[in-house]
Amino acid sequence: FAGYISQVLKNYTDHACDGEYVSLRCPHRTTISIQSSFYGRIVPSHQLCPSRYPHSYATLIKEDVACSVGTSLQKMLDECQDRRSCQFLVNSRLFGMDPCPGTGKYLLVWYKCRPNEYKSKVACEDDKLRLSCKKSTVIAIYSAIFGRTQGGSLECPYQNLGMPMIECQSATALQLMIKRCHGKRSCSIYASTYEFGDPCYPGIQKHLNVIYTCGNTPLLLPVDETRPPAPSSSSSMEPVGVGTEMALLSNILAAYAFITGMP
């Protein structure tokens, strides 16, 4: 069970340069859940995915490092979402119009492995959320959001009090839910700013949305599938933050996505 949970809770990242295969894979009884994706170039080629052909310095300084394709997330959802594995060759033709011809690009993908059988519960702000599993099974938290999402929640409708509808989420919700409920048969927590802090502007109504699964002990998986998938020769699969280069890119892309999403 511990091996299964370690696989489910990880955030995986994979990348591939133009002309290489990207390959995503999840353990038994889980499927791919795409979190975000980027195709283009925002760092120079000497830092990531160098050109396969020799370039003069004059050519390199003209390289477009502000190039991105807006269809990359939808392409990854079409190819890989809800599958146990997927693989395809990365090139600009897959993503529609090329915004920077002549510049070598790369694909970055962040994803999680979602259990095939999972439960979802929502509590409105200041209500108590209760999770429970049947006898001989325990709770494993997959995701937790405290705040307000653009899609909102049917259980906790947004009441317009003159505040703009802006997405805001607690950065510590998942860690807190794991600490409070992981490995227990039942647990409860208030969906309150006392527990999670207030990630939103004053007056914004929030909710707690938790996705979890109930697992049998000792193991849900065969022994040989409790280890992280081995990386291929042309791509890497590791928890986000392990590699310094990928951590830097992750931070850059997170900032880029945030800025471009703001008015």
204 pLDDT band, cuts 50/70/90, is: confident
Q: Which of 174, 191, 215 is the last residue of a domain?
A: 215
Determine which of 2-6, 96-100, 218-222 has the lowest per-residue pLDDT on average.
Answer: 218-222
> How large is the average pLDDT for residues 141-156?
78
The pLDDT of residue 159 is 63
Higher pLDDT, 159 or 203: 203
The pLDDT of residue 101 is 84
Residue 81 lies in a domain: yes
Same domain, residue pair 104 and 140: no
Determine which of 92-101, 158-167, 240-249 has the lowest per-residue pLDDT on average.
Answer: 240-249
Same domain, residue pair 8 and 108: yes
Q: Which of 198, 215, 232 is the last residue of a domain?
A: 215
Residue 166 lies in a domain: yes
Residue 241 lies in a domain: no
Residue 26 lies in a domain: yes
Burial 126-155 (b: 16+ CB within 10 A, else e): eeebebebeeebbbbbbbbbbbbeeeebee
Confidence check: pLDDT of 255 > 60? no
Count of structural domains, the chain: 2
Determine which of 78-82, 131-135, 234-238 has the lowest per-residue pLDDT on average.
Answer: 234-238
Higher pLDDT, 16 or 234: 16
Q: Which of 68, 95, 115 is the last residue of a domain?
A: 115
Q: Classify the phi-psi angles of 43: left when phi > 0, otherwise alpha if psi is within -120 to 50, otherwise beta.
A: beta
Confidence check: pLDDT of 7 > 60? no
138: nearest Cα among 214, 71, 59, 202: 214
- Please state, for a pLDDT cut of 90, what percent of the chain lies above it: 24
The pLDDT of residue 224 is 31
Same domain, residue pair 164 and 152: yes
Higher pLDDT, 96 or 2: 96
Confidence check: pLDDT of 125 > 60? yes
End-to-end alpha-carbon separation of the chain, Å?
Answer: 44
- Dist. CA 140–CA 181, nearest whole Å: 8
The pLDDT of residue 22 is 93
Residue 240 lies in a domain: no
Residue-averaged pLDDT of the chain: 75
The pLDDT of residue 232 is 37
Q: How far is CA 11 from CA 14, 33, 151, 161, 239, in A?
A: 10, 10, 23, 36, 5
Residue 222 lies in a domain: no
Determine which of 11-15, 80-84, 212-216, 221-225 has the lowest per-residue pLDDT on average.
Answer: 221-225
> Which residues, in sequence order, are bridge partners of residue 30?
115
Same domain, residue pair 6 and 56: yes
The pLDDT of residue 244 is 44
The pLDDT of residue 190 is 94
- Dist. CA 3–CA 16, nearest whole Å: 27
Residue pLDDT, tens place only, 41-61: 988 877 888 876 555 544 555
The pLDDT of residue 103 is 85
Higher pLDDT, 241 or 51: 51
Confidence check: pLDDT of 199 > 80? yes
CATH number, domain with residue 52: 2.60.120.740
Higher pLDDT, 20 or 163: 20
Same domain, residue pair 107 and 142: no
Residue 170 lies in domain: 119-215
